Structure 1
Amino acid sequence: MTRPFRFGVVAPLMTEVATWRDQARRIADNGYSTLLVPDFPLTQPAPAAMLATVAALTELRVGTWVYASPLRPAWSTAWEAHSLSVLTEGRFEMGIGVGRPGIEDELRDKGQPEVPGPGARLAGIRETVDRLRELDGPDRYTPVAMAVSGPKARALAAEVADTVTLALGDQPRAEVARLAREFRTEAGPELALAVPVVGDVVAPYMASPATDAAAWRAADAMTVLPDDPAAAIEEIQRRREEIGFSYFVFGAVAADRFAPVVAALAGR
Protein backbone atom coordinates (compact mmCIF):
# COMPACT_ATOMS: atom_id res chain seq x y z
CA MET A 1 0.00 0.00 0.00
CA THR A 2 1.32 3.45 -0.95
CA ARG A 3 0.34 6.02 1.63
CA PRO A 4 -0.21 9.65 0.59
CA PHE A 5 2.45 12.14 1.55
CA ARG A 6 2.08 14.39 4.54
CA PHE A 7 4.53 16.82 6.08
CA GLY A 8 5.20 18.02 9.61
CA VAL A 9 7.35 20.73 11.15
CA VAL A 10 9.21 20.65 14.48
CA ALA A 11 8.71 24.21 15.73
CA PRO A 12 10.30 24.92 19.12
CA LEU A 13 9.71 28.32 20.66
CA MET A 14 13.03 30.11 20.17
CA THR A 15 11.75 33.63 19.45
CA GLU A 16 9.24 36.08 20.85
CA VAL A 17 5.88 34.39 21.33
CA ALA A 18 4.20 36.59 18.70
CA THR A 19 6.85 35.62 16.13
CA TRP A 20 6.35 31.94 16.91
CA ARG A 21 2.57 32.27 16.53
CA ASP A 22 3.08 33.92 13.13
CA GLN A 23 5.35 31.04 12.17
CA ALA A 24 2.63 28.54 13.13
CA ARG A 25 0.14 30.37 10.92
CA ARG A 26 2.58 30.26 7.97
CA ILE A 27 3.13 26.55 8.50
CA ALA A 28 -0.64 26.07 8.27
CA ASP A 29 -0.99 28.35 5.24
CA ASN A 30 1.79 26.46 3.42
CA GLY A 31 -0.11 23.17 3.60
CA TYR A 32 1.81 21.26 6.24
CA SER A 33 -0.31 18.73 8.11
CA THR A 34 1.24 18.85 11.56
CA LEU A 35 3.09 21.17 13.90
CA LEU A 36 5.26 19.30 16.39
CA VAL A 37 7.14 20.37 19.48
CA PRO A 38 10.11 18.71 21.19
CA ASP A 39 10.16 17.55 24.81
CA PHE A 40 13.09 19.43 26.35
CA PRO A 41 11.90 20.45 29.83
CA LEU A 42 12.67 23.94 31.10
CA THR A 43 14.10 25.13 27.77
CA GLN A 44 10.73 26.33 26.46
CA PRO A 45 7.07 26.23 27.59
CA ALA A 46 5.57 22.80 28.24
CA PRO A 47 4.42 20.88 25.14
CA ALA A 48 0.74 20.80 26.09
CA ALA A 49 0.50 24.58 26.42
CA MET A 50 2.29 25.16 23.11
CA LEU A 51 0.20 22.63 21.20
CA ALA A 52 -3.10 23.85 22.61
CA THR A 53 -2.13 27.36 21.50
CA VAL A 54 -1.38 26.21 17.94
CA ALA A 55 -4.59 24.20 17.74
CA ALA A 56 -6.60 27.27 18.76
CA LEU A 57 -4.83 29.45 16.16
CA THR A 58 -4.91 27.06 13.18
CA GLU A 59 -6.51 23.92 11.79
CA LEU A 60 -3.20 22.07 11.96
CA ARG A 61 -2.80 18.70 13.56
CA VAL A 62 -0.40 18.94 16.50
CA GLY A 63 1.90 16.50 18.22
CA THR A 64 4.90 15.83 20.42
CA TRP A 65 8.18 14.95 18.71
CA VAL A 66 8.60 13.17 21.01
CA TYR A 67 7.71 12.74 24.68
CA ALA A 68 10.75 11.34 26.49
CA SER A 69 8.98 8.64 28.49
CA PRO A 70 11.44 8.51 31.45
CA LEU A 71 10.77 12.16 32.29
CA ARG A 72 7.23 11.62 33.62
CA PRO A 73 4.96 8.88 34.95
CA ALA A 74 2.97 6.90 32.40
CA TRP A 75 -0.38 8.01 33.85
CA SER A 76 0.63 11.68 33.59
CA THR A 77 1.70 11.43 29.96
CA ALA A 78 -1.46 9.52 29.06
CA TRP A 79 -3.66 12.05 30.84
CA GLU A 80 -1.98 14.97 29.08
CA ALA A 81 -2.23 13.24 25.70
CA HIS A 82 -5.89 12.39 26.17
CA SER A 83 -6.61 15.96 27.31
CA LEU A 84 -4.96 17.35 24.17
CA SER A 85 -6.93 14.93 22.02
CA VAL A 86 -10.16 16.19 23.60
CA LEU A 87 -9.28 19.89 23.44
CA THR A 88 -8.08 19.72 19.81
CA GLU A 89 -11.12 17.62 18.81
CA GLY A 90 -9.00 14.76 17.58
CA ARG A 91 -6.09 16.69 16.05
CA PHE A 92 -3.42 15.56 18.52
CA GLU A 93 -0.85 12.82 17.84
CA MET A 94 1.18 11.50 20.76
CA GLY A 95 4.81 10.99 19.80
CA ILE A 96 6.80 9.06 22.39
CA GLY A 97 10.20 7.41 22.77
CA VAL A 98 12.64 6.13 25.38
CA GLY A 99 14.65 9.36 25.47
CA ARG A 100 17.40 11.04 23.53
CA PRO A 101 21.14 10.40 24.00
CA GLY A 102 22.24 11.81 27.33
CA ILE A 103 18.84 11.45 28.96
CA GLU A 104 20.47 9.64 31.91
CA ASP A 105 22.38 12.77 32.94
CA GLU A 106 19.28 14.90 32.46
CA LEU A 107 17.26 12.62 34.74
CA ARG A 108 19.93 12.79 37.46
CA ASP A 109 20.08 16.58 37.16
CA LYS A 110 16.33 16.68 37.70
CA GLY A 111 16.58 14.64 40.90
CA GLN A 112 15.96 11.10 39.66
CA PRO A 113 19.01 9.15 40.90
CA GLU A 114 17.69 5.75 39.80
CA VAL A 115 17.64 5.87 36.03
CA PRO A 116 15.44 3.21 34.41
CA GLY A 117 17.14 0.83 32.00
CA PRO A 118 16.07 0.31 28.38
CA GLY A 119 13.63 -2.48 29.25
CA ALA A 120 11.92 -0.39 31.91
CA ARG A 121 11.65 2.54 29.52
CA LEU A 122 9.95 0.41 26.90
CA ALA A 123 7.61 -0.94 29.58
CA GLY A 124 6.82 2.67 30.43
CA ILE A 125 5.86 3.38 26.83
CA ARG A 126 3.58 0.35 26.73
CA GLU A 127 1.93 1.41 29.98
CA THR A 128 1.47 4.95 28.67
CA VAL A 129 -0.25 3.71 25.51
CA ASP A 130 -2.42 1.28 27.51
CA ARG A 131 -3.52 4.05 29.85
CA LEU A 132 -4.18 6.37 26.92
CA ARG A 133 -6.43 3.78 25.32
CA GLU A 134 -8.32 3.41 28.62
CA LEU A 135 -8.81 7.17 28.90
CA ASP A 136 -9.86 7.50 25.26
CA GLY A 137 -12.49 4.78 25.68
CA PRO A 138 -14.54 3.46 22.76
CA ASP A 139 -15.42 6.87 21.30
CA ARG A 140 -11.98 8.44 20.85
CA TYR A 141 -8.70 7.32 19.34
CA THR A 142 -5.46 9.25 19.85
CA PRO A 143 -2.84 8.25 17.25
CA VAL A 144 0.54 7.22 18.63
CA ALA A 145 3.87 7.92 16.91
CA MET A 146 6.83 6.05 18.32
CA ALA A 147 10.53 6.83 17.84
CA VAL A 148 12.55 3.60 17.80
CA SER A 149 16.08 2.28 17.43
CA GLY A 150 16.74 -1.26 18.70
CA PRO A 151 14.87 -4.47 17.82
CA LYS A 152 12.79 -4.54 21.03
CA ALA A 153 11.61 -0.98 20.47
CA ARG A 154 10.79 -1.78 16.84
CA ALA A 155 8.78 -4.82 17.93
CA LEU A 156 6.79 -2.75 20.42
CA ALA A 157 6.17 -0.05 17.82
CA ALA A 158 4.86 -2.64 15.36
CA GLU A 159 2.36 -3.62 18.02
CA VAL A 160 1.17 -0.30 19.46
CA ALA A 161 2.11 2.58 17.11
CA ASP A 162 0.21 4.15 14.23
CA THR A 163 3.35 5.96 13.02
CA VAL A 164 6.96 4.85 13.39
CA THR A 165 10.05 6.98 13.02
CA LEU A 166 13.48 5.40 13.12
CA ALA A 167 16.01 7.16 15.35
CA LEU A 168 18.64 7.88 12.72
CA GLY A 169 21.91 9.73 12.35
CA ASP A 170 24.35 9.06 9.51
CA GLN A 171 23.11 5.56 8.61
CA PRO A 172 23.26 5.10 4.83
CA ARG A 173 20.30 4.41 2.57
CA ALA A 174 20.74 0.63 2.37
CA GLU A 175 20.79 0.23 6.16
CA VAL A 176 17.72 2.42 6.62
CA ALA A 177 15.86 0.45 3.97
CA ARG A 178 16.69 -2.76 5.82
CA LEU A 179 15.41 -1.36 9.12
CA ALA A 180 12.22 -0.06 7.53
CA ARG A 181 11.46 -3.30 5.69
CA GLU A 182 9.90 -5.02 8.71
CA PHE A 183 7.18 -2.36 8.87
CA ARG A 184 6.29 -2.47 5.17
CA THR A 185 3.12 -4.54 5.32
CA GLU A 186 -0.38 -3.61 4.21
CA ALA A 187 -1.49 -3.24 7.82
CA GLY A 188 1.80 -1.78 9.02
CA PRO A 189 2.24 1.66 10.58
CA GLU A 190 2.90 4.84 8.68
CA LEU A 191 6.64 5.35 8.23
CA ALA A 192 7.89 8.80 9.19
CA LEU A 193 11.30 10.23 8.38
CA ALA A 194 12.71 13.08 10.46
CA VAL A 195 15.03 15.20 8.33
CA PRO A 196 17.06 17.50 10.60
CA VAL A 197 19.56 18.56 7.92
CA VAL A 198 18.53 20.54 4.85
CA GLY A 199 21.49 21.62 2.79
CA ASP A 200 24.04 22.66 5.38
CA VAL A 201 21.53 23.81 8.01
CA VAL A 202 20.86 21.65 11.08
CA ALA A 203 17.46 22.13 12.71
CA PRO A 204 17.55 22.94 16.44
CA TYR A 205 16.20 20.21 18.74
CA MET A 206 16.31 17.65 15.90
CA ALA A 207 20.03 16.87 15.89
CA SER A 208 23.14 17.90 17.76
CA PRO A 209 24.50 21.35 16.84
CA ALA A 210 27.81 19.55 16.26
CA THR A 211 26.29 17.47 13.43
CA ASP A 212 28.59 17.35 10.41
CA ALA A 213 26.14 17.97 7.56
CA ALA A 214 28.76 17.35 4.89
CA ALA A 215 29.74 13.99 6.38
CA TRP A 216 26.11 12.89 6.65
CA ARG A 217 25.50 13.92 3.05
CA ALA A 218 28.60 12.02 1.90
CA ALA A 219 27.30 8.91 3.70
CA ASP A 220 23.98 9.15 1.79
CA ALA A 221 22.20 9.54 5.12
CA MET A 222 18.42 9.65 4.99
CA THR A 223 18.46 12.44 7.58
CA VAL A 224 19.62 14.90 4.92
CA LEU A 225 17.80 16.53 2.01
CA PRO A 226 19.07 19.02 -0.58
CA ASP A 227 17.96 22.60 0.02
CA ASP A 228 16.77 22.98 -3.57
CA PRO A 229 13.01 22.24 -3.50
CA ALA A 230 12.99 20.57 -6.94
CA ALA A 231 15.79 18.22 -5.96
CA ALA A 232 14.10 17.57 -2.62
CA ILE A 233 10.84 16.64 -4.34
CA GLU A 234 12.62 14.06 -6.48
CA GLU A 235 14.45 12.58 -3.49
CA ILE A 236 11.33 12.43 -1.30
CA GLN A 237 9.45 10.55 -4.01
CA ARG A 238 12.37 8.12 -4.29
CA ARG A 239 12.35 7.49 -0.54
CA ARG A 240 8.67 6.61 -0.57
CA GLU A 241 9.03 4.33 -3.57
CA GLU A 242 12.15 2.52 -2.38
CA ILE A 243 11.78 2.53 1.41
CA GLY A 244 8.16 3.40 2.21
CA PHE A 245 8.48 6.77 3.95
CA SER A 246 5.36 8.88 3.44
CA TYR A 247 5.44 11.29 6.40
CA PHE A 248 8.35 13.72 6.32
CA VAL A 249 9.22 15.94 9.26
CA PHE A 250 11.43 19.01 8.84
CA GLY A 251 12.74 21.65 11.20
CA ALA A 252 11.07 25.04 11.25
CA VAL A 253 14.22 26.57 9.71
CA ALA A 254 13.32 24.80 6.45
CA ALA A 255 9.55 25.22 6.53
CA ASP A 256 9.25 28.34 4.39
CA ARG A 257 11.81 27.19 1.82
CA PHE A 258 10.12 23.81 1.46
CA ALA A 259 6.62 25.25 0.94
CA PRO A 260 6.87 24.34 -2.80
CA VAL A 261 7.69 20.75 -1.81
CA VAL A 262 4.53 20.55 0.28
CA ALA A 263 2.46 22.20 -2.46
CA ALA A 264 3.69 19.64 -4.98
CA LEU A 265 3.37 16.47 -2.90
CA ALA A 266 1.02 16.77 0.09
CA GLY A 267 -1.84 14.32 -0.14
CA ARG A 268 -0.56 12.62 -3.32
Structure 2
Amino acid sequence: MTGNSTRQVRPLRFGVVAPITDGLPAWRDQLRGLADSGYSTILMPDVPQWQPAPGPALAVAATVTGLRVGTWVYASPVRPAWITAWEAHSLSVLTEGRFEMGIGTGRPGIAGQLRELGLPVTPVGRRPGQVRDIVAALRHLDGPDRHTPVVMVVGGPKAQALATELADTVTFVMPQIETRATTMQRVQRFENPRGAELALHVPVVGDSVAPFMAGPDTDPAAVRAADSLAFLPSDPSAAAEEIQRRREECGFSYFVVGAEAAATLAPTVADLAGR
Protein backbone atom coordinates (compact mmCIF):
# COMPACT_ATOMS: atom_id res chain seq x y z
CA MET A 1 0.00 0.00 0.00
CA THR A 2 1.09 3.59 -0.47
CA GLY A 3 2.35 5.79 2.33
CA ASN A 4 -0.97 7.64 2.34
CA SER A 5 -3.13 4.53 2.70
CA THR A 6 -4.71 2.90 5.71
CA ARG A 7 -4.75 -0.90 5.57
CA GLN A 8 -7.50 -2.65 7.52
CA VAL A 9 -8.21 -6.36 7.70
CA ARG A 10 -11.97 -6.37 7.23
CA PRO A 11 -14.34 -9.31 7.63
CA LEU A 12 -15.23 -10.93 4.33
CA ARG A 13 -18.60 -10.34 2.74
CA PHE A 14 -20.17 -11.40 -0.54
CA GLY A 15 -22.62 -9.78 -2.93
CA VAL A 16 -24.55 -11.16 -5.89
CA VAL A 17 -25.63 -9.33 -9.03
CA ALA A 18 -29.10 -10.85 -9.38
CA PRO A 19 -31.17 -9.26 -12.17
CA ILE A 20 -34.67 -10.42 -13.00
CA THR A 21 -34.25 -12.72 -16.00
CA ASP A 22 -36.66 -15.68 -15.61
CA GLY A 23 -39.80 -14.09 -14.20
CA LEU A 24 -40.72 -12.85 -10.75
CA PRO A 25 -41.51 -16.18 -9.01
CA ALA A 26 -38.16 -17.68 -10.03
CA TRP A 27 -36.36 -14.49 -9.03
CA ARG A 28 -37.95 -14.44 -5.59
CA ASP A 29 -36.98 -18.07 -5.06
CA GLN A 30 -33.44 -17.25 -6.15
CA LEU A 31 -33.25 -14.40 -3.65
CA ARG A 32 -34.42 -16.61 -0.80
CA GLY A 33 -31.75 -19.14 -1.72
CA LEU A 34 -29.07 -16.44 -1.64
CA ALA A 35 -30.23 -15.30 1.78
CA ASP A 36 -29.93 -18.85 3.09
CA SER A 37 -26.38 -19.24 1.67
CA GLY A 38 -24.60 -16.48 3.58
CA TYR A 39 -24.51 -13.76 0.94
CA SER A 40 -24.81 -10.30 2.43
CA THR A 41 -25.96 -8.13 -0.45
CA ILE A 42 -28.30 -8.33 -3.46
CA LEU A 43 -27.18 -6.06 -6.29
CA MET A 44 -28.88 -4.72 -9.41
CA PRO A 45 -27.35 -3.42 -12.65
CA ASP A 46 -28.47 -0.09 -14.07
CA VAL A 47 -29.14 -0.89 -17.72
CA PRO A 48 -32.41 0.36 -19.30
CA GLN A 49 -34.30 -2.14 -21.46
CA TRP A 50 -32.50 -5.14 -19.90
CA GLN A 51 -34.65 -5.54 -16.81
CA PRO A 52 -36.77 -3.50 -14.35
CA ALA A 53 -35.23 -0.35 -12.89
CA PRO A 54 -32.91 -1.05 -9.94
CA GLY A 55 -34.75 1.07 -7.36
CA PRO A 56 -38.09 -0.79 -7.33
CA ALA A 57 -36.37 -4.16 -7.80
CA LEU A 58 -34.11 -3.56 -4.80
CA ALA A 59 -37.04 -2.49 -2.63
CA VAL A 60 -38.67 -5.85 -3.38
CA ALA A 61 -35.40 -7.74 -2.83
CA ALA A 62 -34.90 -6.12 0.56
CA THR A 63 -38.41 -7.12 1.61
CA VAL A 64 -38.08 -10.70 0.36
CA THR A 65 -34.69 -11.40 1.93
CA GLY A 66 -33.91 -9.00 4.75
CA LEU A 67 -30.42 -8.65 3.23
CA ARG A 68 -28.52 -5.55 2.26
CA VAL A 69 -29.21 -4.30 -1.26
CA GLY A 70 -27.36 -2.04 -3.65
CA THR A 71 -26.88 -0.77 -7.16
CA TRP A 72 -24.00 -2.28 -9.12
CA VAL A 73 -23.91 0.39 -10.34
CA TYR A 74 -25.82 3.58 -11.16
CA ALA A 75 -24.42 5.11 -14.36
CA SER A 76 -24.04 8.81 -13.62
CA PRO A 77 -24.34 10.05 -17.26
CA VAL A 78 -27.96 8.84 -17.49
CA ARG A 79 -29.02 9.98 -14.02
CA PRO A 80 -29.87 13.54 -12.91
CA ALA A 81 -28.15 14.22 -9.61
CA TRP A 82 -31.07 15.19 -7.35
CA ILE A 83 -33.46 12.49 -8.59
CA THR A 84 -30.78 9.81 -8.22
CA ALA A 85 -29.95 11.00 -4.72
CA TRP A 86 -33.64 11.07 -3.79
CA GLU A 87 -34.08 7.47 -4.96
CA ALA A 88 -30.96 6.36 -3.08
CA HIS A 89 -31.96 8.15 0.11
CA SER A 90 -35.48 6.73 -0.14
CA LEU A 91 -34.12 3.20 -0.49
CA SER A 92 -31.91 3.79 2.54
CA VAL A 93 -34.96 4.89 4.54
CA LEU A 94 -37.27 2.11 3.32
CA THR A 95 -34.69 -0.62 3.98
CA GLU A 96 -33.80 0.86 7.39
CA GLY A 97 -30.19 1.46 6.40
CA ARG A 98 -29.61 -1.66 4.28
CA PHE A 99 -29.08 0.13 0.96
CA GLU A 100 -25.68 0.89 -0.61
CA MET A 101 -25.45 3.28 -3.54
CA GLY A 102 -23.03 1.94 -6.09
CA ILE A 103 -22.16 4.54 -8.70
CA GLY A 104 -19.76 4.98 -11.58
CA THR A 105 -19.19 7.03 -14.71
CA GLY A 106 -20.75 4.50 -17.09
CA ARG A 107 -19.76 1.32 -18.84
CA PRO A 108 -17.96 1.24 -22.23
CA GLY A 109 -20.31 2.18 -25.04
CA ILE A 110 -22.60 4.29 -22.90
CA ALA A 111 -22.38 7.17 -25.39
CA GLY A 112 -24.55 5.16 -27.78
CA GLN A 113 -27.12 4.57 -25.08
CA LEU A 114 -27.19 8.28 -24.24
CA ARG A 115 -27.90 9.13 -27.88
CA GLU A 116 -30.71 6.55 -28.02
CA LEU A 117 -32.27 8.09 -24.93
CA GLY A 118 -31.93 11.61 -26.28
CA LEU A 119 -29.54 12.59 -23.48
CA PRO A 120 -26.40 14.70 -23.85
CA VAL A 121 -23.13 12.82 -24.20
CA THR A 122 -21.06 14.06 -21.28
CA PRO A 123 -17.31 14.20 -21.98
CA VAL A 124 -15.41 11.58 -20.04
CA GLY A 125 -13.47 14.19 -18.09
CA ARG A 126 -16.67 15.72 -16.71
CA ARG A 127 -18.28 12.50 -15.54
CA PRO A 128 -16.57 12.37 -12.11
CA GLY A 129 -18.16 15.75 -11.49
CA GLN A 130 -21.57 14.19 -12.09
CA VAL A 131 -20.76 11.54 -9.49
CA ARG A 132 -19.72 14.24 -7.03
CA ASP A 133 -23.00 16.09 -7.56
CA ILE A 134 -25.03 12.94 -6.88
CA VAL A 135 -23.12 12.14 -3.69
CA ALA A 136 -23.41 15.74 -2.49
CA ALA A 137 -27.18 15.67 -3.03
CA LEU A 138 -27.41 12.32 -1.21
CA ARG A 139 -25.50 13.65 1.79
CA HIS A 140 -27.82 16.66 1.90
CA LEU A 141 -30.90 14.44 1.90
CA ASP A 142 -29.41 12.04 4.44
CA GLY A 143 -28.75 14.88 6.85
CA PRO A 144 -26.73 14.44 10.04
CA ASP A 145 -28.50 11.31 11.26
CA ARG A 146 -28.13 9.01 8.25
CA HIS A 147 -25.18 7.87 6.15
CA THR A 148 -26.04 5.91 3.02
CA PRO A 149 -22.88 3.99 2.06
CA VAL A 150 -21.44 4.93 -1.32
CA VAL A 151 -19.66 2.37 -3.48
CA MET A 152 -17.60 3.92 -6.27
CA VAL A 153 -16.31 2.26 -9.41
CA VAL A 154 -13.03 3.94 -10.32
CA GLY A 155 -10.69 3.90 -13.26
CA GLY A 156 -8.66 7.01 -14.03
CA PRO A 157 -6.97 9.50 -11.70
CA LYS A 158 -9.98 11.84 -11.37
CA ALA A 159 -12.32 9.03 -10.35
CA GLN A 160 -9.76 7.63 -7.93
CA ALA A 161 -9.22 11.02 -6.32
CA LEU A 162 -12.97 11.44 -5.90
CA ALA A 163 -13.28 7.98 -4.33
CA THR A 164 -10.42 8.76 -1.96
CA GLU A 165 -12.45 11.72 -0.74
CA LEU A 166 -16.01 10.36 -0.74
CA ALA A 167 -16.35 6.58 -1.09
CA ASP A 168 -17.10 4.06 1.64
CA THR A 169 -16.28 1.18 -0.72
CA VAL A 170 -14.14 1.20 -3.86
CA THR A 171 -14.02 -1.23 -6.77
CA PHE A 172 -11.67 -0.87 -9.73
CA VAL A 173 -12.33 -0.81 -13.45
CA MET A 174 -9.85 -3.23 -14.99
CA PRO A 175 -9.53 -5.34 -18.12
CA GLN A 176 -10.72 -8.88 -17.52
CA ILE A 177 -7.42 -10.30 -18.71
CA GLU A 178 -5.34 -7.95 -16.59
CA THR A 179 -2.71 -9.95 -14.72
CA ARG A 180 -2.64 -10.35 -10.96
CA ALA A 181 0.61 -8.37 -10.74
CA THR A 182 -0.85 -5.43 -12.66
CA THR A 183 -3.99 -5.37 -10.54
CA MET A 184 -1.91 -5.46 -7.37
CA GLN A 185 0.07 -2.47 -8.61
CA ARG A 186 -3.19 -0.65 -9.36
CA VAL A 187 -4.48 -1.26 -5.84
CA GLN A 188 -1.18 -0.37 -4.20
CA ARG A 189 -1.13 2.97 -6.02
CA PHE A 190 -4.62 3.86 -4.82
CA GLU A 191 -4.53 6.49 -2.08
CA ASN A 192 -6.79 5.26 0.69
CA PRO A 193 -6.19 7.39 3.80
CA ARG A 194 -9.71 6.81 5.18
CA GLY A 195 -9.45 3.02 4.89
CA ALA A 196 -12.33 2.52 2.44
CA GLU A 197 -13.46 -1.04 1.92
CA LEU A 198 -12.05 -2.61 -1.27
CA ALA A 199 -14.43 -4.64 -3.42
CA LEU A 200 -13.61 -7.03 -6.24
CA HIS A 201 -15.91 -7.54 -9.25
CA VAL A 202 -15.57 -11.23 -10.26
CA PRO A 203 -17.50 -12.01 -13.46
CA VAL A 204 -15.93 -15.42 -14.16
CA VAL A 205 -16.24 -18.41 -11.82
CA GLY A 206 -14.95 -21.65 -13.27
CA ASP A 207 -16.39 -21.77 -16.79
CA SER A 208 -19.36 -19.54 -15.93
CA VAL A 209 -19.47 -15.92 -17.13
CA ALA A 210 -22.00 -13.58 -15.50
CA PRO A 211 -23.85 -11.90 -18.39
CA PHE A 212 -24.57 -8.67 -16.52
CA MET A 213 -20.96 -8.39 -15.34
CA ALA A 214 -18.95 -9.21 -18.47
CA GLY A 215 -19.23 -8.93 -22.22
CA PRO A 216 -20.72 -11.77 -24.30
CA ASP A 217 -17.33 -12.47 -25.90
CA THR A 218 -15.55 -13.08 -22.58
CA ASP A 219 -13.39 -16.22 -22.78
CA PRO A 220 -13.12 -17.90 -19.35
CA ALA A 221 -9.99 -19.77 -20.43
CA ALA A 222 -8.24 -16.53 -21.37
CA VAL A 223 -9.24 -14.87 -18.10
CA ARG A 224 -7.96 -17.85 -16.14
CA ALA A 225 -4.73 -18.07 -18.15
CA ALA A 226 -3.96 -14.43 -17.42
CA ASP A 227 -4.09 -15.15 -13.67
CA SER A 228 -6.68 -12.40 -13.57
CA LEU A 229 -8.49 -11.41 -10.40
CA ALA A 230 -11.66 -11.36 -12.52
CA PHE A 231 -11.63 -15.17 -12.12
CA LEU A 232 -12.33 -17.49 -9.21
CA PRO A 233 -12.10 -21.29 -9.34
CA SER A 234 -15.33 -23.23 -9.02
CA ASP A 235 -13.86 -25.68 -6.51
CA PRO A 236 -14.98 -24.40 -3.07
CA SER A 237 -11.68 -25.11 -1.31
CA ALA A 238 -9.62 -23.49 -4.06
CA ALA A 239 -11.96 -20.51 -4.13
CA ALA A 240 -11.69 -20.07 -0.36
CA GLU A 241 -7.91 -20.16 -0.53
CA GLU A 242 -7.84 -17.64 -3.36
CA ILE A 243 -10.27 -15.23 -1.65
CA GLN A 244 -8.19 -15.20 1.51
CA ARG A 245 -5.04 -14.68 -0.53
CA ARG A 246 -6.57 -11.64 -2.23
CA ARG A 247 -7.53 -10.12 1.09
CA GLU A 248 -4.04 -10.69 2.45
CA GLU A 249 -2.14 -9.45 -0.62
CA CYS A 250 -4.46 -6.68 -1.91
CA GLY A 251 -6.90 -5.86 0.86
CA PHE A 252 -10.06 -7.00 -0.96
CA SER A 253 -12.74 -7.99 1.53
CA TYR A 254 -15.96 -7.63 -0.48
CA PHE A 255 -16.42 -10.05 -3.39
CA VAL A 256 -19.19 -9.60 -5.96
CA VAL A 257 -20.19 -12.45 -8.28
CA GLY A 258 -23.01 -13.19 -10.70
CA ALA A 259 -26.17 -15.06 -9.78
CA GLU A 260 -25.23 -17.94 -12.09
CA ALA A 261 -22.20 -18.74 -9.92
CA ALA A 262 -23.81 -18.11 -6.54
CA ALA A 263 -24.76 -21.73 -5.89
CA THR A 264 -21.30 -22.93 -6.92
CA LEU A 265 -19.64 -20.61 -4.40
CA ALA A 266 -22.24 -21.09 -1.67
CA PRO A 267 -20.09 -23.53 0.39
CA THR A 268 -17.20 -21.06 0.25
CA VAL A 269 -19.44 -18.16 1.25
CA ALA A 270 -20.95 -20.14 4.12
CA ASP A 271 -17.45 -20.88 5.39
CA LEU A 272 -15.89 -17.43 5.00
CA ALA A 273 -18.63 -14.82 5.41
CA GLY A 274 -17.95 -12.63 8.39
CA ARG A 275 -14.47 -14.05 9.04
Please name the residue that 1:198 is paired with. Answer: 205
How far apart, in 2, do the equivalents of 1:85 and 1:214 lie? 40
Q: 1:228 aligns with which of 223, 235, 241?
A: 235
> Are residues 1:55 and 2:57 paired?
no
Counterpart of 1:256 in 2: which secondary structure?
Answer: helix
Amino acid at match of 1:161: A
Q: Which 5+ residue runs of structure 1 have no aligned equivalent?
A: none
Report the Cα distance in structure 2 between the residues aligned to 1:247 and 1:213, rounded to whole angstroms. 22
1:78 equivalent among 58, 77, 85 = 85
Q: How many residues align?
A: 267
**Shift, 1:186, TM fit:** 6.5
1:217 equivalent in structure 2: 224
> Hey, what does 1:248 align to over in structure 2?
255
Structure 2 residues without counterparts, runs of 5 or longer: 1-7
Question: Which structure 1 residue ranges, 4+ long, deviate > 3 Å from structure 2?
Answer: 182-186
Shift of 1:72: 1.4
Q: 1:97 aligns with which of 98, 104, 114?
A: 104
- Counting only pairs closer than 5 Å after superposition, residues 12-161 of structure 1 correspond to structure 2 as 12-112=19-119, 114-161=120-167
Distance 2:249 2:192 in 1: 14
Q: Assess if the C-alpha contact under 8 Å between 1:198 and 1:226 holds in 2.
A: yes
2:5 maps to none
> In the superposition, relative to structure 1, how do residues 26 and 90 fare at CA in structure 2: closer, same or farther (>3 Å)?
same
In structure 1, how many angstroms separate the alpha carbons of the residues matched to 2:233 and 2:125? 37
Under a length normalisation based on structure 1, what TM-score does the superposition of the two structures give? 0.97
CA contact (8 A) 2:164 2:194 kept: no
SS in 1 for 2:84: helix
Deviations 1:12-55 (A, max 9, x none): 11101100011011111111000000001121111011000011
What letter corresponds to residue 126 of structure 2 in structure 1?
Answer: A
Amino acid at match of 1:239: R
For 1:115, the aligned partner's letter is: V
Residues 145-184 of structure 1, C-alpha deviation per residue, up to 9 Å, x if partnerless?
0011111111111111000000122111111111111447
Partner of 1:165: 171
Structure 1 residue 187 displacement after superposition: 2.8
| Match of residue 261 from structure 1 | 268
Q: Distance in 1 between matches of 2:92 and 2:215?
A: 31
